[in-house]
Amino acid sequence: MIDLTLAEIAAAMNGRLVIGGSVDSVSADTIVSGESQTDSREVKAGQIFFARRGEETDGHLFVAKAVDAGAALLVVEREVDDRVPQIVVADATIALGQLATAVVHRVRAAGELTIVGITGSNGKTTTKNLVAAMAERRGSSVASEKSFNNEVGGPLTMLRVQQDTRTLVAEMGASAEGEIARLTAMAPPSIGVVLTVGLAHAGEFGGIETTFRTKSEMVRDLPDSAVAVLNRDDPHVSRMAELTQARVRWFGLHPEAHVRASDIDSDAAGTRFTLHIDGESAPVNFHVLGEHHVTNALAAATVGHELGLSLGEIVDSLQSATKAARWRMEVMGGRDGVTIVNDAYNASPDSMAAGIRTLAQIRKPDGRSVAVLGAMSELGEYSIEEHIRIGLQAVRLRINELVVVGKEARQLHISAINEGSWDGESVFFEEQDEAFDYLMSTLQPNDTVLVKSSNSAGLRFLGDRLGEAFA
């Protein structure tokens, strides 16, 4: 974070500064510049600890641990440990966002900060990582860590900005209407990216039209000096061009896209395609597995072009990427020719379908395709229908074996066996340990295995175990 006095921090969040009697050599003019944390286990010396009240716990219970770890400032909703200065606020989560807003505004007013906001039902983290790598080529940059994209993770990322930061790459997610608007108000994007509008989180949003309205918050308030980077292949995203004052830049496979791909070819080593940007073309050897990630690469390339990178720099950056992100089409294994593709960090119907298509494409001629699938969460009323659809797809793409794990995904298994095309090629286990033992006893040389589920199903850990077993 930039240097701010305790008084300035308190003013930014409309808080009351309290300096206890046991605090020596500290005044309202004392400067704090450490990062902010909401988890006491992550606190390091000189940092700010925000004692948030969550659904399951209360950050005030962990104040002492934060102070013991070296916290220089506490943001609290009631006075607590007086060993360090405290700022008392009405709501610590709101205060976190207020401080982030103030820091971003100050840096932007004093320097050349470009803010890139990225949202979409699928592909946010992968695209964010690709854009962040390109942004590094133009100077100091800050990007969301992991999947920090909500009312807490977003501000924590923004508060890492320094005076010399040239680019802030912010992943912006939502589980309800208004959340992306709040994030964009904290850090108004110069470049707003919308990737897809799909059924991810449909149970929370209540339907595709609500998802459309929520994701369109990214571009609705962009000024005419900003750029809206939109997916020309997604009909819902395409509609957003009518809702923004910003200059629109299309990406996708559509011939009207300003940044597009052709000649796409995929295998277990990655994806090759020709990249076209405003009349220039170049081949790309993209090492990230799965044709669906070409869309993310095109979005990143569009942003890179807007940031001033040349076609050659964009291609070099894309070719330097080795994987999308941890647990996202992560290639593991190798012993006996067995390939494990661990893609179990998130799963929506669209990404699950894309993963199964990729598995069918990359299966080795002398090996089998094995799909280890768990539940897709947060689908609400669409859950049964979408699990049925994925089971049918696995059969129709001739996946050699389907291993379904977890009772929440049982409908997927039932759908596959009801299709009638198989005879015992779909099996079901309630527990991961049972599935692991089964796979270890049945996998054959040169098999290709996709492990895919929503984060809550936890199959990423099963994928890790298989990857280590066949390392």
How many whole angstroms separate alpha carbon 135 and alpha carbon 37?
A: 25
The verdict on pTM exceeding 0.85 is yes
Span between the terminal Cα atoms of the chain, in Å: 41
CA distance to 57, 134, 450, per residue, from 296 (Å): 36, 13, 20
Q: Is residue 104 included in any domain, yes or no?
A: no
DSSP state of 34: P
Same structural domain for residues 352 and 248?
no
- Give the count of beta carbons closer than 10 Å to the beta carbon of residue 272: 17
- The reported pLDDT for the residue numbered 369 is 95
DSSP state of 468: H
CA distance to 367, 399, 400, 465, 466, per residue, from 371 (Å): 13, 7, 8, 15, 13
Same structural domain for residues 335 and 432?
yes
> Among the listed ranges 147-156, 161-170, 302-311, 453-462, which one has the minimum average pLDDT value?
147-156
* pLDDT range class, residue 455, cuts 50, 70, 90: confident
Q: Is residue 31 included in any domain, yes or no?
A: yes
Q: Is residue 99 included in any domain, yes or no?
A: no
**403: helix, coil or strand?**
strand
Please give the distance of CA 1 from its chain centroid, rounded to a whole number.
Answer: 23
Q: What are the pLDDT digits (tens) for 235-272?
A: 999 999 999 999 999 999 999 999 999 999 988 788 99
Q: What are the pLDDT digits (tens) for 42-78?
A: 999 999 999 998 877 899 999 999 999 999 999 999 9
Same structural domain for residues 311 and 336?
no
* Contact of 403 with 435, CB cutoff 8 Å: yes
* Contact of 23 with 83, CB cutoff 8 Å: yes
Greatest CA separation found in the chain?
77
Q: What is the mean pLDDT of the chain?
A: 92
Which CATH number fits the domain that encloses residue 200?
3.40.1190.10
Q: Is the dihedral of CA 124, 128, 129, 130 positive or negative?
A: positive
**66: containing domain:** 4-91
Token duo for residue 194: 């919308």
Compute the residue count for the chain: 471
* Contact of 246 with 192, CB cutoff 8 Å: yes
Axis crossing angle, helix 293-306 with helix 124-135, rounded to the nearest 10: 30
Q: Is residue 408 included in any domain, yes or no?
A: yes
Question: How many structural domains comprise the chain?
Answer: 3
Q: In the listed set 288, 320, 352, which residue is the last one of a domain according to the structure?
A: 320
How many whole angstroms separate alpha carbon 285 and alpha carbon 272?
A: 5
Which CATH number fits the domain that encloses residue 433?
3.90.190.20
Show binding-site residues: 120-126
Q: Is the dihedral of CA 134, 135, 140, 145 positive or negative?
A: negative
Which CATH number fits the domain that encloses residue 71?
3.40.1390.10
Same structural domain for residues 428 and 284?
no
Show binding-site residues for ATP: 120-126
Q: What are the pLDDT digits (tens) for 390-433?
A: 999 999 899 999 999 999 999 999 998 887 655 658 999 999 99
- The reported pLDDT for the residue numbered 206 is 60
> What contacts 209, CB < 8 A, 6 or more positions away?
none
How many whole angstroms separate alpha carbon 72 and alpha carbon 240?
A: 44
Same structural domain for residues 416 and 448?
yes
At residue 372, what are phi and psi to the nearest 5 degrees? -105, 105
> What contacts 346, CB < 8 A, 6 or more positions away?
122, 200, 328, 454, 455
- The reported pLDDT for the residue numbered 8 is 97
Q: Is residue 96 included in any domain, yes or no?
A: no
- Give the count of beta carbons closer than 10 Å to the beta carbon of residue 330: 22
- Give the count of beta carbons closer than 10 Å to the beta carbon of residue 310: 13
How many whole angstroms separate alpha carbon 332 and alpha carbon 352?
A: 19
Question: The sheet that has 86-88: what strands, in order across it?
Answer: 16-18, 86-88, 73-76, 48-50, 36-37
In this structure, are strands 270-277 and 259-267 parallel, antiparallel, or unpaired?
antiparallel
Same structural domain for residues 347 and 386?
yes
DSSP state of 325: B
Q: Is residue 230 included in any domain, yes or no?
A: yes
Token duo for residue 148: 């920090």
Question: Once rounded to an integer, what is the mean pLDDT over residues 82-91?
Answer: 94
- The reported pLDDT for the residue numbered 266 is 85
Q: What b/e string do you get for 137-174 counting C-beta neighbours within 10 Å, with b at 16 or more?
A: bbeebbbbeebbbbbbbbbbbbbbbeeebbbbbbbbbb
Q: Is residue 98 included in any domain, yes or no?
A: no
Kindly tell me if the per-residue pLDDT of 324 is higher than 80. no
* Contact of 371 with 403, CB cutoff 8 Å: yes
Same structural domain for residues 444 and 356?
yes
Same structural domain for residues 340 and 303?
no
Helices (H) and strands (E) in the chain, counts: 16, 22
Same structural domain for residues 311 and 334?
no
Same structural domain for residues 266 and 349?
no
Beta strands in 34-154, from DSSP E residues, in sequence order: 36-37, 48-50, 73-76, 86-88, 114-119, 141-143
